[in-house]
Amino acid sequence: MRLLTHNMLSSNVKGVVNGFPLRLEASTWVEKEVDFNADFLRSVFPKIDWPALFGASQTVGYVALPESADASMLESEDFLKKFHHALLEIHVEEGALVCPETGRRFPINKGIPNMLLNEDEV
Amino acid sequence: MATLLRTCEPFDLRGLSSARRFEKEKRKPNPSRVLYQRRSQRSSFRAAMAAEGLKKGIAEFYNESSGLWESIWGEHMHHGFYDTTTPASFSDHRSAQIRMVDEALRFACVPEDSSKWPKRVVDVGCGIGGSSRYLAKKYGAQCQGITLSPVQAQRAQALAVAEGLADKVSFQVADALDQPFPDGHFDLVWSMESGEHMPDKNKFVSELTRVAAPGATIIIVTWCHRDLSQSEDSLKPDEITLLNKICNAYYLPEWCSPSDYVKIAESLSLKDIKTADWSDNVAPFWPAVIQSAFTWKGFISLLRSGWKSIKGALVMPLMIEGYNKKLIKFTIITCRKPE
């Protein structure tokens, strides 16, 4: 699971008011090189919840991202490279996504999050 | 809005389905052994289904049969689209499956202009990701696929990696009726032959609508039953019986008509609602699938896959029967979320 994906997943447990962002627990992760595409990064930036991305990248030990970011930083190649790395090149293989309100754990196995709810949670 | 016709036995046992109520009223008292056996078979079926649960059943069906399908038919788990005038040979089927995707995009008027291509796609009921990967390649888009089957999600991811698309497509195990995505996130919402698995068509289309961005295109390609005529309250008993058998084998909770989908879309204020009957364009498909099951490779693979796959294979002639009787309609519904 890339952090780009983490940035769009939320808890849909019944009664949860704000299920985003899910807290990331990562026991295993890998880094895979991805072609750098500045245009893509600039177009996706407005859709990214930066605090969630920052928090997730800290969890997997990537500390190079600034704690806050704004569109002016997209002019900086250095910033774009760090953004690119955090968003697309870190793959969480094993771990969990945790609902911020209920603590409900959605497991990540072999890179695939399982977001299915049980009948009593729907 | 009209209540959707429940044509298949419900997977939870709260209340009788209208189909079963219909059977009870019409049947004359008959103490024959055959009827008793059928009743007890039906009730044990219902009990089994209630216990298993629809979602689990769907997941297990695809966990079990996905590999078999892929080995013979490839990465696209949907019908091919064929010309109605030229006969199709076996080599045509894979390109027909790709054509199905392109025809659906064309019907929905997804722009050819690359500056207007979708950038974020959700593939609802993604199978092993055939559509997701195709759309990612075609549009350079980010695609998220969801499926109930962990086996399918893993396979979809592996194929994405193998094709160098791991940076563009991602797969999750998730429920189409409770998608784990924020409102308005996707500019193309894609459901290729998954709608027939949804137990609540209203909720299904509502979720597709919720995750669609303003102006997004929603494309649903699905199996429906024929529209009812003005004088009809329900399908005929033999039609319901046929659909019930298919539901049983393929873990389909209920069927509705194309008009039902249109009404739901209208109730959600979706725009540019269009629908078409592509039944004639998919006619060569099931005979070809049956033929593939009778090859040595198909037969052995089927035996190895398990009972759910075998049951699915045995029911294939009923799909042809359903199409021939103009009962089953291969339907496309497309629309747009208002800006």
pLDDT in tens, B170-189: 999 999 999 999 999 999 99
Torsion of CA B322, B105, B118, B148, to 10 degrees: 20
CA distances from B176 to A116, B48, B63, B147, B260 (A): 10, 23, 17, 8, 19
Dihedrals phi, psi of A71, to nearest 5 degrees: -60, -25
Interface test mutation site (partner A, options B13, B119, B142, B183, max chain A beta carbons within 10 A): B142
Average pLDDT of the residues in B287-302: 82
| Segment among A102-111, B256-265, B294-303 with least mean pLDDT | B294-303
* E strand spans, A6-114: 23-31, 90-98, 105-109, 112-113
Q: What's the pLDDT score for residue B286?
A: 86
Computed over every residue of chain B, the mean pLDDT equals: 85
Q: How far is A114 from chain B (nearest CA, A)?
A: 5
pLDDT band at B39 (very low <50, low <70, confident <90, very high): low
How many alpha carbons fall within 13 Å on the CB side of residue B194? 30
Note down pLDDT in tens along chain A; length 122 residues.
999 999 999 998 989 999 999 999 999 999 999 889 999 999 999 999 999 999 999 999 999 999 999 999 999 999 999 999 999 999 999 999 999 999 999 999 999 999 998 877 76
User: What pLDDT score was predicted for residue B287?
Assistant: 86
Q: Is the CB of residue B219 less than 8 Å from the CB of residue B108?
A: yes
The per-residue pLDDT for B23 is: 37
Partnered with residue B146 across adjacent β-strands are B124, B172
According to DSSP, the residues that pair with B181 across neighbouring strands are: none
Position B41 scores a pLDDT of: 60
Domains of chain A by residue range: 3-116
Torsion of CA B173, B175, B178, B179, to 10 degrees: 40
Closest CB from A4, A32, A115 relative to B173 = A115
pLDDT grade for B31, boundaries at 50, 70 and 90: very low
Q: For chain A, first and last CA: distance in Å?
A: 24
Q: pLDDT tens across B120-141, in order?
A: 999 999 999 999 999 999 999 9
Categorise residue B272: left if φ over 0, alpha if ψ from -120 to 50, beta otherwise: left
Q: Report which of residues B267 and B37 the model is more confident about.
A: B267
pLDDT at B6 over 80: no
CA B182 to chain A, closest CA, distance in angstroms equals 7
Judge contact between B232 and B242, C-beta under 8 A.
no
pLDDT at B45 over 90: no
- The pTM of this model reads 0.86
CB–CB of A114 and B181 under 8 A?
Answer: no
- What confidence tier does B32 reach under pLDDT thresholds 50, 70, 90? very low
Q: Which two tokens stand for residue B285?
A: 């498909």
Residue ranges of alpha helices (H) inside chain B are 18-26, 33-52, 54-73, 92-107, 130-139, 150-162, 201-211, 237-250, 258-267, 285-293, 296-305, 307-314, 316-324
Q: A63 touching B, CB under 8 A?
A: no
In three-state secondary structure terms, B140 is coil
Largest CA distance in chain B: 69
Overall fold of domain A3-116: N-terminal domain of TfIIb (2.20.25)
Q: What is chain B's Cα-based Rg?
A: 20
Q: Is A14 within 8 Å of chain B by CB?
A: no
Mutate to test the interface with B, among A4, A6, A12 (most CBs of B within 10 A): A12
**In angstroms, what separates the C-alpha of A116 from chain B's closest C-alpha?**
5
A105–B contact, CB cutoff 8 A:
no
Whether residue B339 has pLDDT greater than 70 = yes
Query: What is the complex's ipTM, to 2 decimals?
Result: 0.91
Say yes or no to pLDDT of B25 above 50. no
DSSP classification of residue B229: P
Which residues of A are less than 8 Å from B172 in CB distance? 5, 9, 112-115
DSSP state of A72: G
What's the confidence (pLDDT) of residue B5? 47
- Quick check: B197 and B312 in contact, CB under 8 A? no
Q: pLDDT band at residue B10, thresholds of 50, 70 and 90?
A: very low
Query: Which of the four pLDDT bands, split at 50, 70 and 90, describes residue B21?
Result: very low
Identify the CA nearest to B153 among candidates B164, B137, B165, B169: B169
Optimal mutation site among A1, A9, A102, interface B, most CBs of chain B within 10 A: A9
Q: What percent of chain B has pLDDT over 90?
A: 60
pLDDT of residue B46: 58
Asked if the model's pLDDT at residue B30 lies above 80, the reply is no
pLDDT at B288: 85
Residue B116 touches chain A, beta carbons under 8 Å = no
Q: Which of B55, B157, B174 sits opposite A111 (nearest CB)?
A: B157
Q: How far apart are CA B337 and CA B212, in angstroms?
A: 7
pLDDT exceeds 50 at position B29: no
Please tell me the distance from the alpha carbon of residue B20 to that of residue B8, in angstroms, as a whole number.
9
Give Dmax (Cα) for chain A: 48
Whether the pLDDT of residue B99 is over 90: the answer is yes
- Pick the residue from chain B with its C-alpha nearest to A43: B119
Of A100-109, B93-102, B296-305, the one with minimum mean pLDDT is B296-305
